[in-house]
Chains A and B, each alone.
Chain A
Amino acid sequence: MTNRTHPSEVLLADYASGALPTAAGLTVSAHLSSCAACAGKVDQLVEAGGVLLSGLPDAPLARGALAATLARLDSPAAQPAPPQKGLTGVDLPAVVLAVGFGPRRWFGRGAWVAHTKASTAHGWRSFILSLPAGGRLPAHGHRGLELTAVLQGAFADDTGWHGPGDFVTADHAVEHDIVVSAQGRCVCLVSTQGPFLWRNPWLGALRPLTGL
């Protein structure tokens, strides 16, 4: 089953409530940065979170909690790491730059993968995948969910074409073959649970190189 274009409501709810690991949330977040409709849904869910928070009973705080916090107000905050520099010619969403990513690993002409630095806890990991115009990612399956946010270019799978801003969900039942549009390269942010299951064992053998 493939869900084209937008994340499911369940995914948006898990994202809003904080139940989604960062490596999965990253791809949802990339979609939200280009989809006002989904961002609006998440905002409404977050509003519900605010109302629920306000309605919670008070837990007793440690003695001196306020004083301890006040004492820290004027101390400078640890500066967050500056966002990573982008890649020439690739439109990466701010969230990806904020999280950072490792070096590009090339695995074919014009084909590379760069793993983000989001934690791989809970079995999720995320990576930027770039395939050249007309390129293919041969048939592969998944052990769990695969979430894809198209950042630039377009690709086709058995459900049709997916372009910039589209969000594609594939579950373990999908074994898909990806073909990139001849118009230009396609760059996606992908979050997966577990490694790809390649139909071609040679591609599986490349795993130490690509991490895919």
Chain B
Amino acid sequence: MGRREADCAVAATPDDAEDIVAVARGDKPRFEALFARFAPKVKTYLLRLGVAPAAAEELAQETMLNVWRRAHQFDPNLGTGAAWIFTIARNQRIDALRRERHPEALRGQWTIAVTDAPTPEDLFLIREQARRLETALADLSPAQMEVVRRSFLGAGPLSQVARDLDLPLATAKSHLRRAVARLKAALDETS
């Protein structure tokens, strides 16, 4: 376990997984907390991808509704709550841009029902993991961070990101690879 002095800086993330697990049991106040934390960010995400404001509002609400309906599919052992919500928002984006149904099963990893509720120890590990991930991302060079950011929050594929940044595709790729290696290292530290 690492030192925990950075905890106060990341007060928003630590309870995501715990809240989603509570929402799966029908806890509405915890849903409201998730809504307050994520709906405005999901809307920003969609706006940045070029979704029109009215549609972004509607899809942000739709994303949160799906968080409520699918919370039972969330497995905190497989990833952070924020990443799970990201996949739901991402799929809303694909729906919005392609005007088609995005099959749930495309996120196969998330569709396995959780049989065991996480223990407090699991939740502690998840919080630690979220904190480490944030620290790892904060450590990236600005160029690496830009590739990661554009890849996820931009509207185009990685080849487009490379063109926009005037980088060779190989460089964009290596920035992304390095970012992922850091994330992996951060995750491995906790296991």
**A contact residues vs B (CB 8 Å cutoff):** 9-10, 13-14, 16-22, 25-26, 29, 32-33, 39, 41, 43-62, 65-66, 68-70, 72-73, 77, 80, 83, 94-95, 97-99, 118-119, 121-122
In the complex, the answer to whether B82 meets A18 with C-beta atoms within 8 Å is no
Given contacts A48-B148, A95-B108, are A65 and B90 in contact (CB under 8 A)? no
In the complex, the answer to whether B40 meets A69 with C-beta atoms within 8 Å is no
Q: Nearest Cβ distance between residue B40 and chain A, in whole angstroms? A: 3
Whether a CB of chain A sits under 8 angstroms from the CB of B68 is: yes
> Told that A9-B173, A61-B60, A83-B105 touch, could you supply 7 new A-B pairs with CB distance under 8 A?
A13-B158, A17-B90, A50-B82, A52-B137, A58-B43, A58-B44, A59-B41
Q: Please report the C-alpha to C-alpha distance between residue A119 and residue B100 in the assembled complex, in whole angstroms.
A: 6
In the complex, the answer to whether A119 meets B99 with C-beta atoms within 8 Å is yes
**In the complex, which residue of chain B has the Cβ closest to the Cβ of A52?**
B152
Which one of B101, B153, B159 lies within 8 Å of A10 (CB-CB)? B159
Which one of A48, A54, A62, A70 lies within 8 Å of B183 (CB-CB)? A48
Q: Please report the C-alpha to C-alpha distance between residue A73 and residue B23 in the assembled complex, in whole angstroms.
A: 11
Q: Please report the C-alpha to C-alpha distance between residue A25 and residue B185 in the assembled complex, in whole angstroms.
A: 27
Given contacts A14-B157, A29-B108, are A47 and B79 in contact (CB under 8 A)? yes
Q: Which residues of B contact A73 (CB under 8 A)?
A: 28, 31, 65, 68
Q: Which residues of B contact A43 (CB under 8 A)?
A: 78-79, 83, 109
In the complex, the answer to whether A61 meets B43 with C-beta atoms within 8 Å is yes
Q: Please report the C-alpha to C-alpha distance between residue A29 and residue B32 in the assembled complex, in whole angstroms.
A: 33
Q: Please report the C-alpha to C-alpha distance between residue A99 and residue B134 in the assembled complex, in whole angstroms.
A: 35
Question: What are 21 A-B residue pairs whose CB atoms fall within 8 Å in the complex?
Answer: A9-B173, A18-B91, A18-B94, A19-B151, A19-B158, A29-B108, A43-B83, A45-B180, A48-B179, A50-B85, A50-B133, A51-B130, A51-B134, A52-B149, A53-B86, A54-B12, A61-B57, A65-B57, A95-B105, A98-B104, A121-B100
In the complex, the answer to whether B36 meets A66 with C-beta atoms within 8 Å is yes
Q: Please report the C-alpha to C-alpha distance between residue A14 and residue B84 in the assembled complex, in whole angstroms.
A: 17
In the complex, the answer to whether A53 meets B79 with C-beta atoms within 8 Å is no
Those of B142-191 within 8 Å (CB) of chain A: 148-149, 151-153, 155-160, 169, 173, 176-177, 179-180, 183-184, 187
Whether a CB of chain A sits under 8 angstroms from the CB of B69 is: yes
Chain B contact residue count (CB 8 A cutoff): 76
Q: Please report the C-alpha to C-alpha distance between residue A85 and residue B68 in the assembled complex, in whole angstroms.
A: 28
Q: Please report the C-alpha to C-alpha distance between residue A208 and residue B42 in the assembled complex, in whole angstroms.
A: 43
In the complex, the answer to whether B12 meets A70 with C-beta atoms within 8 Å is no
Q: Which applies to chain B's interface (DSSP): helix, strand, loop or mixed?
A: helix
**In the complex, which residue of chain B has the Cβ closest to the Cβ of A15?**
B106
Q: Please report the C-alpha to C-alpha distance between residue A61 and residue B82 in the assembled complex, in whole angstroms.
A: 19
Q: Please report the C-alpha to C-alpha distance between residue A16 and residue B158 in the assembled complex, in whole angstroms.
A: 11
**In the complex, which residue of chain A has the Cβ closest to the Cβ of B67?**
A69
In the complex, the answer to whether A49 meets B86 with C-beta atoms within 8 Å is yes
Q: Which residues of A contact B64 (CB under 8 A)?
A: 69
In the A-B complex, the 10 residue pairs with the smallest Cβ-Cβ separation, listed nearest first, are: A50-B83, A58-B40, A50-B82, A119-B100, A98-B103, A98-B105, A18-B90, A59-B43, A49-B86, A19-B157
Q: Which residues of B contact A14 (CB under 8 A)?
A: 151, 157-158
In the complex, the answer to whether A118 meets B89 with C-beta atoms within 8 Å is no
Q: Please report the C-alpha to C-alpha distance between residue A203 and residue B134 in the assembled complex, in whole angstroms.
A: 54
Those of B56-98 within 8 Å (CB) of chain A: 56-57, 60-61, 64-65, 68-69, 78-87, 89-91, 93-94, 98
**In the complex, which residue of chain B has the Cβ closest to the Cβ of A60?**
B40
